[in-house]
Structure 1
Amino acid sequence: MPAQPRPRATVLTVSAVLLASLLAGCGDDAPKDEDLTDQKLSWEDCPAPTTSQGDGPPPSPLPDGTKWQCATMKAPLDWNDPQGDTIDIELIRAGAGGAGNERIGSLVFNFGGPGASGVTALPAFGEDFAGLRTRYDLVSFDPRGVGRSAGVECEDDEGIDEYLQQDMTPDHRAEEEKLLDSTTAFNSDCEKNSGSTLPHVRTTDAARDMDLMRQVLGDRQLHYFGISYGTELGGVYAHLFPKNVGRAVFDAVVDPTKNPEQGALGQARGFQLALDNYARDCVSQEEGCPVGDTAQEVKDRIAGLLRDLDGKPIPGTFPRELTESIATDGILQALYSRELWEYLTQGLEQAYDGDGTVLMLLADSLNGRSENGEYSNLIAANVSINCADGRPRYTVEDVTARLPAFRAASPLFGDTLAWEMLSCADWAVPGAADHPDVSAPGAAPILVIGNTGDPATPYEGARKMAQALGEGVGVELTYRGQGHGAYSSGNRCVREAVNAYLLEGKVPEAGSVCS
């Protein structure tokens, strides 16, 4: 979503506190002369999520009793060698359930990250999208490198705990070198444990998997709902397969014109805006704000807490301590959704009294750590996909030179987001490009929704995406609200516009606004 010390993930939040959310490897068991487009999926009741997917019980049936079904699709490990080794892509679906409604096809979801398991996310959001199931099978998947789809593996749980608790905002040269050393060691473990997969987890590879998925599902066109990073994946798909685009919605839109540095700087501004909005909301409450009496005091006290934690951590969830870095992750997680602001207030109150439990639970949710101390492969997949996609490799000198701009964008989060630019240091695979190509002349209209208060994918990214898709393709809709994403906010205007487009083909007027 974000919040590991890697290129910032942008995962749509599933849980208010914790995301209770067997790595599938590469194989060569598919016959080399088999046309993978002719494969038949074997749909069965879904098992419980694996550790790499986030753990938890099997997905519960939908309110009408419909069970979730899972299947495995074969895809080439290397799309440049489609007759070579294959990997498994894990899928999940809930069949269309609208009596008397003509089925359109499958509606494929990607919930972001990169690194989020769609197999666990779709059931978590199933009720939110129930209205779309009247005419679509709801389908999602673990993209390659994620969860059960050739999931990338880097460090073990103990190593990730240690990594995340270190000082991510170094104050002097020795701390800078320590951060760089730990980052390169993490990246070396990724190569050691998943080296054969790392060259093949680019977004372009996942987009080709989706076109294979479209054919295997029996759809003439890909109908698609992308959220956060899922909008980038959808844009890349539209660029590669413009004639195959059906009805598509991009929500919480990534700016495709920015390189990693520019994207991180935009997020610094976005999270600072969300913090400003939280602080104003807190002091406007009738019962008062326990964090401060004015919006500025709220922000000053949060900054003071982080400074104190930098020198003296406090107890978190035993035996871990709440460090400055973990507390920052917890605050960032809470800013993803207005529904989490009350937990941020609670966590800050506790932390001022020397108890870091709530902020640490929020951070664990962001970083994919379950209650039993096991991590999903969100962090490993996030860094692997971002570093395979992004060409720049930033140095300590690059970061220190850019710190003033990041601090100006966000006094609280600027350092954290600037130092995350080191994430791809000594990465084993060269990055593909400075930014994705999403130009899609000839594609069907794509509904692009920007949220004015979105911290992780700032509002201006929607306009940039609509423009980059091309004239007559990108159709922009503005939601004047808070949080990461618009459809999941429950705003009636957004819901009606999206549903009318996906279910009836009614394209909103470009520039429409929902409040």
Structure 2
Amino acid sequence: MPKPPRARAAALTATAVLLSSVLAACSGGDSKDEDLSAQKLDWKDCTAPSQAEGGGDAPSPLPNGTKWQCATMKAPLDWNKPKGDTIGIALIRAKTSGSESTRIGSLVFNFGGPGGSGVTTLPAFGEDYAKLRTRYDLVSFDPRGVGRSAPVKCESDQQLDSYFQQDATPDDAAERTKLLDNTKEFNAACEKNSKKVLAHVRTTDAARDMDLMRQVLGDDKLYYFGISYGTELGGVYAHLFPKKVGRAVFDAVVDPTQDAEQGSLGQAKGFQLALDNFAEDCTSKTEDCPIGDTAQDVKDRIAKLLADLDKKPIPGIFPRELTQTAATNGIAQALYSKDFWQYLTEGLEQAYDGDGKILLALSDSMNGRSENGEYSNITAANIAINCADDKSRYDSAYVERKLPEFRAASPLFGDFLAWGMVSCTDWAVAGAAEHPDVSAAGSAPILVVGNTGDPATPYEGARKMVDALGKGVGVELTYKGQGHGAYDSKNKCVQSAVNGYLLDGKVPAAGTVCS
């Protein structure tokens, strides 16, 4: 199984939709000898998202009536052959609510993943950025390989249902062989259906797309807001184009110094911390916690539930069952935001009574599955981008040697995240590097926001990003909170600091702490 995507907004939007229901009951182009930076975008009212983007309805206008507009930008399929075949990069924008005289430019968002569709996510959270829209056009996009931008395609919806029901934490040789065989089949399907694009979905490719986007949007500098994996993308952009960085914010920061194994181990620690905080929160309230008497009791009961599900799944969303893997995935999804802890509590209550609907809905959200059984391509894109980026390849023997370390980091999530490291085994494309290069000497200041309770991108990554960006570039801000990301927590201190920098160029003091 892939490691949990380092995305916030897209996953949480899907979670809300799925839970409301449950609780209620590569496009290639011709070779063109042209200057792509001179292309004119044909902005039109947005249509409904494609299934690869997650499906659903066309985005509703903002409260003041501003309509979302969409366009497609041509980019080289292979940046080493800029005059060769092109692909389309899907963009979305909401024009500034301010005057042209006060407009700074376009503020480009990447919400993470890798694999999340910015075209569907930005409208879902557009109102949260109303203050920023007073001086910017809000812009986001589907990175290459994602959504409507030459999407990576692997298995069918029916095959994915089976893929996500598999036992992702094998206990014996037979289960291990089945997991590896399923991984090999999935990866072979990706090569068969998406061979043309697999070598061209690296983060460095997406960063070059962003610089082309900057030029096409008419900006001398890139104004950027990266969340989760979007911080890694932003760091790579700053490394490649340090003199083109305008004002940039990195929120929910990926540690750029870690290889794939270290990143997975960090997530194990991060999700365990979030689970500890969830259990403490439930049992510290004045009313009785319905899922345990003490924090340790809560975690012990969850561990027993998962052990029982490993032997015998329970009914989920008909006709699918809640397996151990799906339950673990669903618990992880709920830990992305404190707003969903209530659903985790209710989902666990249900599961203890033999009903797995809520936990399975949470797992579906993580995996990009809609109520009608169709999947977005977030999993395919997530694996493709990670495997194209990460040089390391791990076999089952290596994972087994590492299991004690992962279990020490997290008794609940350790096995799950350790075995996720085999996702790139037998991948068709070699990985680019052990970890991204984000050194950015000469860049404008970049505001780096770390959240002490972040499960998916642990807090320590913010300091590592600041150090890796280089002296005088990264400016660290700490948020003492819970969940994945800080700005969308609506903490006034965080938002004031971020808005002050993006709108007025006021760099907060390094080491500022918000709580």
Say yes or no: TM over 0.5. yes
The answer as to 2:108 corresponding to 1:108 is yes
User: What's 1:388 paired with?
Assistant: 388
Return closer, same or farther for 1:189/1:100 CA change in 2, 3 Å cut-off.
Answer: closer
Superposition deviation, residue 17 in structure 1: 2.9
Question: Is 2:451–2:486's contact at 8 Å kept on the other side of the alignment?
Answer: yes
Question: Is 1:247–1:502's contact at 8 Å kept on the other side of the alignment?
Answer: yes
Q: Describe the SS at the equivalent of 1:268.
A: helix
Question: Is 1:10–1:112's contact at 8 Å kept on the other side of the alignment?
Answer: yes
Question: Is 1:330–1:360's contact at 8 Å kept on the other side of the alignment?
Answer: yes
Question: Is 1:11–1:113's contact at 8 Å kept on the other side of the alignment?
Answer: yes
The answer as to 2:28 corresponding to 1:27 is yes
Higher mean displacement: 103-112 or 172-181: 172-181
Paired with 1:402 and 1:186, the residues of 2 have a C-alpha distance of 24
1:111-510 → structure 2 map (5 Å cutoff):
111-510=111-510
Paired with 1:157 and 1:32, the residues of 2 have a C-alpha distance of 35
Question: Is 1:399–1:419's contact at 8 Å kept on the other side of the alignment?
Answer: yes
Question: Is 1:18–1:362's contact at 8 Å kept on the other side of the alignment?
Answer: no
User: What's 1:73 paired with?
Assistant: 73
What CA deviation, in whole Å up to 9, does each residue of 1:53-85 have, x standing for no partner?
Answer: 001100010011100000000000000000000
Paired with 1:176 and 1:340, the residues of 2 have a C-alpha distance of 33
The gaps in structure 2 that reach 5 residues or longer are: 20-25
Paired with 2:163 and 2:99, the residues of 1 have a C-alpha distance of 51
Q: Describe the SS at the equivalent of 2:196.
A: coil
Return closer, same or farther for 1:296/1:438 CA change in 2, 3 Å cut-off.
Answer: same
Superposition deviation, residue 6 in structure 1: 1.1
Paired with 1:170 and 1:262, the residues of 2 have a C-alpha distance of 21
Superposition deviation, residue 284 in structure 1: 1.5
**Paired letter, 2:293:** D
Paired with 1:128 and 1:34, the residues of 2 have a C-alpha distance of 38
Question: Is 1:62–1:127's contact at 8 Å kept on the other side of the alignment?
Answer: yes
Paired with 2:467 and 2:401, the residues of 1 have a C-alpha distance of 31
Paired with 1:355 and 1:7, the residues of 2 have a C-alpha distance of 26
**Paired letter, 1:27:** G
What is the total number of aligned residue pairs between the two structures?
507
Paired with 1:118 and 1:40, the residues of 2 have a C-alpha distance of 21
Identify which of 1, 5, 14 aligns with 1:9.
Answer: 5
Superposition deviation, residue 28 in structure 1: 2.6
**Paired letter, 1:346:** E
Paired with 1:260 and 1:166, the residues of 2 have a C-alpha distance of 22
Paired with 2:494 and 2:229, the residues of 1 have a C-alpha distance of 20
Q: Describe the SS at the equivalent of 2:131.
A: helix
Return closer, same or farther for 1:16/1:56 CA change in 2, 3 Å cut-off.
Answer: closer
Question: Is 1:441–1:469's contact at 8 Å kept on the other side of the alignment?
Answer: yes
Return closer, same or farther for 1:213/1:20 CA change in 2, 3 Å cut-off.
Answer: farther
**Paired letter, 2:435:** H
Paired with 2:190 and 2:184, the residues of 1 have a C-alpha distance of 10
Question: Is 1:16–1:340's contact at 8 Å kept on the other side of the alignment?
Answer: no
Paired with 1:49 and 1:10, the residues of 2 have a C-alpha distance of 21
1:33-72 → structure 2 map (5 Å cutoff):
33-72=33-72
Question: Is 2:4–2:366's contact at 8 Å kept on the other side of the alignment?
Answer: no
Q: Describe the SS at the equivalent of 1:92.
A: strand
Q: In percent, how many aligned pairs have the same letter? A: 72
**Paired letter, 2:115:** G
User: What's 2:23 paired with?
Assistant: none
Superposition deviation, residue 286 in structure 1: 2.2
Superposition deviation, residue 173 in structure 1: 1.1
**Paired letter, 1:10:** R
Return closer, same or farther for 1:172/1:104 CA change in 2, 3 Å cut-off.
Answer: same
Question: Is 2:407–2:415's contact at 8 Å kept on the other side of the alignment?
Answer: yes
Tell me the C-alpha RMSD between the 2 structures.
1.1
Paired with 2:289 and 2:66, the residues of 1 have a C-alpha distance of 44
Question: Is 2:28–2:150's contact at 8 Å kept on the other side of the alignment?
Answer: no
**Paired letter, 1:180:** L
Paired with 1:495 and 1:209, the residues of 2 have a C-alpha distance of 28
TM-score, with normalisation over the residues of structure 1?
0.97
Question: Is 2:59–2:68's contact at 8 Å kept on the other side of the alignment?
Answer: yes
**Paired letter, 1:395:** D
What CA deviation, in whole Å up to 9, does each residue of 1:244-272 have, x standing for no partner?
Answer: 00000000000000000000000000000
Paired with 2:367 and 2:33, the residues of 1 have a C-alpha distance of 41
Question: Is 1:8–1:264's contact at 8 Å kept on the other side of the alignment?
Answer: no
Return closer, same or farther for 1:45/1:16 CA change in 2, 3 Å cut-off.
Answer: closer
Q: Describe the SS at the equivalent of 1:71.
A: strand
Paired with 2:269 and 2:101, the residues of 1 have a C-alpha distance of 44
Paired with 2:143 and 2:48, the residues of 1 have a C-alpha distance of 18
Question: Is 1:247–1:446's contact at 8 Å kept on the other side of the alignment?
Answer: yes
Q: Describe the SS at the equivalent of 1:333.
A: helix
Return closer, same or farther for 1:101/1:364 CA change in 2, 3 Å cut-off.
Answer: farther
Superposition deviation, residue 15 in structure 1: 2.6
Question: Is 1:19–1:54's contact at 8 Å kept on the other side of the alignment?
Answer: no
Superposition deviation, residue 19 in structure 1: 5.3
Question: Is 1:101–1:135's contact at 8 Å kept on the other side of the alignment?
Answer: no
TM-score, with normalisation over the residues of structure 2?
0.97
Paired with 1:77 and 1:100, the residues of 2 have a C-alpha distance of 34
Question: Is 1:26–1:88's contact at 8 Å kept on the other side of the alignment?
Answer: yes
